[in-house]
């Protein structure tokens, strides 16, 4: 089994990253919201505190084929979220904060369990942005005990470039959403009018670090960029702008997962346009447009 990039970092370098990331717990700017709260005493937009909160973990077979392999992708779902989308399908975790507080030591044990007991091909960190310091510390602890499988940074795309730089050489696979191009949509649904501007910078930084998606002989991803876009009802033109950005600004070998599984959830029924599923015609048009741009689509 090939080893993840973080095994090449020196112990000192890894712990230095931990220390720099932990400074955010005193005045949090882990994401573009830049709440500047002391996470040990209060909460910012995402409502996360000083300890990581894990909602669930274990092999997951519903992820992209290149992440699943034979053992399933080794997911660790974190509670809370820096986007809190009104249509969130995991709102009990993202908004309700359901889960268990864990220490970095316990998180390290989870990572090693995923590798050694479940034999998953990767550790899939779901909604990790607000827990980067705790994740880095857990990786630093786990690598000393033999952690070697790639980390998947499975995020909403609303990321700080400065924080992503702390993850360079630590994360091998970036899997961001690119949810919207329109500031109106991102303002209405995620309270983030600058979503696209920040996500565009973040995805360029991810590309700089890892490039297009490389798949090993066993069929699982080893390194690179995999972008998800959930097609929303009535937002086909926005989907097209998102796809054009990917085609124009990112490498042709990044993998794009165009997703059709939207269903109204959480507060979606407060928005008439979000109160239905995406029609087959809408999704087919989005797919054909992506194909016409020559994107590498996950199937």
The interface mask with ligand SF4, positions 204-233, x = CB under 6 A, is: ------------------------------
Q: Which residues contact 72 (CB under 8 A, 6 or more apart)?
A: 58, 59, 60, 61, 63, 118, 120
- Kind and range of the H or E element at 100? strand 100-102
Nearer to ligand SF4, 33 or 228 (CB): 33
Only one of the segments 30-38, 96-104, 118-126, 256-264 lies at the binding site for ligand SF4 (rule: CB under 6 A); that segment is 30-38
29 makes contact with ligand SF4 (CB under 6 A): yes
Nearest Cα to 135, choosing from 168, 165, 170?
Answer: 170
Nearer to ligand SF4, 133 or 224 (CB): 133
- Kind and range of the H or E element at 287? helix 280-292
88 makes contact with ligand SF4 (CB under 6 A): no
Smallest gap from residue 106 Cβ to ligand SF4 (A): 21
48 makes contact with ligand SF4 (CB under 6 A): yes
For ligand SF4, the binding residue among 60, 84, 130, 229 (CB under 6 A) is 130
Distance of CA 248 to the CA centre of its chain: 22
End-to-end Cα separation, the chain, in angstroms:
25
For ligand SF4, the binding residue among 35, 68, 202, 235 (CB under 6 A) is 35
Only one of the segments 5-13, 40-48, 69-77, 210-218 lies at the binding site for ligand SF4 (rule: CB under 6 A); that segment is 40-48
**Applying CB under 6 A, what is the total number of residues that bind ligand SF4?**
14
198 makes contact with ligand SF4 (CB under 6 A): no
Task: Scan residues 65-84 and list those touching ligand SF4 (CB under 6 A).
Answer: 82
What is the rounded CA–CA span in Å between residue 116 and residue 204? Answer: 33
What is the rounded CA–CA span in Å between residue 299 and residue 295? Answer: 12
Q: Residue 121: what are its φ and ψ, rounded to 5°?
A: -80, -10
Nearest Cα to 254, choosing from 293, 196, 197?
Answer: 293
45 makes contact with ligand SF4 (CB under 6 A): yes
Nearest Cα to 33, choosing from 206, 139, 163, 175?
Answer: 163
Residues in the chain: 299
Angle between helices 236-249 and 195-210 (to 10 degrees): 30
For ligand SF4, the binding residue among 25, 30, 67, 141 (CB under 6 A) is 30
34 makes contact with ligand SF4 (CB under 6 A): yes
60 makes contact with ligand SF4 (CB under 6 A): no
28 makes contact with ligand SF4 (CB under 6 A): yes
Nearer to ligand SF4, 26 or 288 (CB): 26
Smallest gap from residue 124 Cβ to ligand SF4 (A): 20
What is the rounded CA–CA span in Å between residue 68 and residue 231? Answer: 23
Binding site for ligand SF4 (CB under 6 A): 28-31, 33-35, 37, 44-46, 48, 82, 130
């Amino acid at each position: 089994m090939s080893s993840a990039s973080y095994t090449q970092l020196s112990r000192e370098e890894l712990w230095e990253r931990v220390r720099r990331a932990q400074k955010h717990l005193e005045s949090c700017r882990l994401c573009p919201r830049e709440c500047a709260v002391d996470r040990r005493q209060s909460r910012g937009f995402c409502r996360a505190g000083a300890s990581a909160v894990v909602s669930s973990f274990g092999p997951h077979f519903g992820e992209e084929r290149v992440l699943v392999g034979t053992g399933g992708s080794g997911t660790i779902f974190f509670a809370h979220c820096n986007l809190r989308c009104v249509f969130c399908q995991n709102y009990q975790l993202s908004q309700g904060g359901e889960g268990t507080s864990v220490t970095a030591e316990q998180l390290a044990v989870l990572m090693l369990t995923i590798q050694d007991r479940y034999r998953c091909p990767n550790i899939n960190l779901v909604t990790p942005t607000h827990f980067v310091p705790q994740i880095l510390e857990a990786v630093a602890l786990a690598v000393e005990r033999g952690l070697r499988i790639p980390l998947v940074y499975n995020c909403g795309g609303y990321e700080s470039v400065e924080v992503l730089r702390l993850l360079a050489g630590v994360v091998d696979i970036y899997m961001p959403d690119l949810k919207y191009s329109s500031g109106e949509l991102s303002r209405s649904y995620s309270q983030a009018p600058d979503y696209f501007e920040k996500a565009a910078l973040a995805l360029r930084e991810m590309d700089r670090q890892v490039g297009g998606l490389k798949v090993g002989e066993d069929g699982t991803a080893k390194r690179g960029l995999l972008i998800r876009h959930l097609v929303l009802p009535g937002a086909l033109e926005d989907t097209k702008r998102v796809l054009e950005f990917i085609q124009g600004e990112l490498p042709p070998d990044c993998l794009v997962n165009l997703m059709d599984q939207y269903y109204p959830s959480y507060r979606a029924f407060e928005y008439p346009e979000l109160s239905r599923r995406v029609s087959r015609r809408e999704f087919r048009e989005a797919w054909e447009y992506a194909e016409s741009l020559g994107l590498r689509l996950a199937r």
